[in-house]
Amino acid sequence: MEREAGEPGYWDDHQTAQQKMQQLGRLKDTVTLWRDLESRSQNLVELTELALAEDDPSLQEQLEFESEELATALAREEINLTLSGPYDDRPAIVSIHAGAGGTDAQDWAEMLLQMYCQWAEARKRPYDVMDLSYGEEAGLRGATLEIGGAHAFGYLIAEQGVHRLVRLSPYDPNNLRQTSFAQVEILPTSEDDPEVEIRSEDIKMDTFRSSGPGGQNVQKVASAVRLTHTPTGIVVSCQNERSQHQNREYAIRILKARLLARQEEEKAKEVAGMRGQRKAAEWGSQIRSYVLHPYKSVKDHRTNLQSTNPDAVLGGDIDKFIEAYLMSKVGE
């Protein structure tokens, strides 16, 4: 691929060349990673022989530390090897929708948005908040963000479903316990997918003024965009206080992702029909409960993994839940 990149005319088709260069970059990262693990394991063999020969406690401590580091790195790559789906390596579009629970549910949707943003920041993944739809009193009716980095969709698909929060309501004058729900939808981006084609005549575009907290208009010009895909009836809106052009661009990206998901869902139903499977093809069910009162716990209902530190989980520490889910799917 490197030799091909050096040939004349390689960049004549800029889009294809760019895709190949991205693929080359990923392959180089993979080769570098495994060669590094190979080198580290060889160094550990030599360190083991030295520690046995010299009976030096400090060498034994170093050996134990480096062995644990290597084991952690290998466990992480074992997780990555489960990510072999056709879209697993793509960026993910994360949509959060407040469910039952009124203002508490809208506040819960905002908490989930912060959780995913902090997860991305801590792992140095690029992310971009594409759309925010504010609640009347507080929180968000909905939010959409795009998260990139290696295997973003493959990892985040583990988050798809209904998330349940139990806590003392800060919005209830009697401070009663409240249960809130929010739906998290995960879609792969589809910008480079030839299967997803959107014709301009199939799109109806409406513009409106962006609204902030409490439903107040925050702009004098109609920069927010609502796109309706007439053949499917899919509606997408973007109003993240940017220019109309930027909002339209984001809306198109979300629309393409939704169309790709629709195509995949139809294929899945077809396969299920051929196999005689009775399980309904649906986007999600309650996957995780976050309890802040009367005790503190986060439990994933699919893997039964639990944490007694919901503050850390809501601060973005969700890797153990994601990894447990991915490993539970091996062999299905």
**Per-residue pLDDT tens digits for 113-157:** 999 999 999 999 999 999 998 888 889 999 999 999 989 999 999
Picking from 270, 271, 307, 269, the residue whose alpha carbon sits closest to that of residue 288 is 307
Q: In what order do the strands lie in the sheet with 234-238?
A: 203-208, 224-229, 234-238
The 8-class DSSP code of residue 211 comes to: B
**Per-residue pLDDT tens digits for 282-306:** 444 689 999 999 999 999 999 999 9
In CATH terms, the fold of domain 200-275 is Double Stranded RNA Binding Domain (3.30.160)
Please say whether the beta carbons of 222 and 321 come within 8 A. no
**Per-residue pLDDT tens digits for 59-69:** 888 999 999 99
Domain boundaries, given as residue ranges, for the chain: 13-80, 92-192+283-328, 200-275
Calpha distance 6→238 (Å, rounded): 41
Residues in CB range of 33: below 8 A, 6 or more apart: 77
pTM of the prediction?
Answer: 0.75
How sure is the predictor about 108, in pLDDT bands with cuts at 50, 70 and 90?
Answer: very high
Residue of 54 and 114 predicted with greater confidence: 114
**Distance between start and end Cα atoms, the chain:** 34
Q: Which CATH class is domain 92-192+283-328?
A: alpha beta
Q: Residue for token digits 């991915």?
A: 326
Picking from 159, 170, 137, 211, the residue whose alpha carbon sits closest to that of residue 324 is 159
**Per-residue pLDDT tens digits for 210-256:** 766 655 555 555 788 989 999 999 999 888 766 888 898 889 989 99
Residues in CB range of 227: below 8 A, 6 or more apart: 203, 204, 205, 235, 236, 237, 248, 251, 252, 255
Stretch 24-47: mean pLDDT: 91
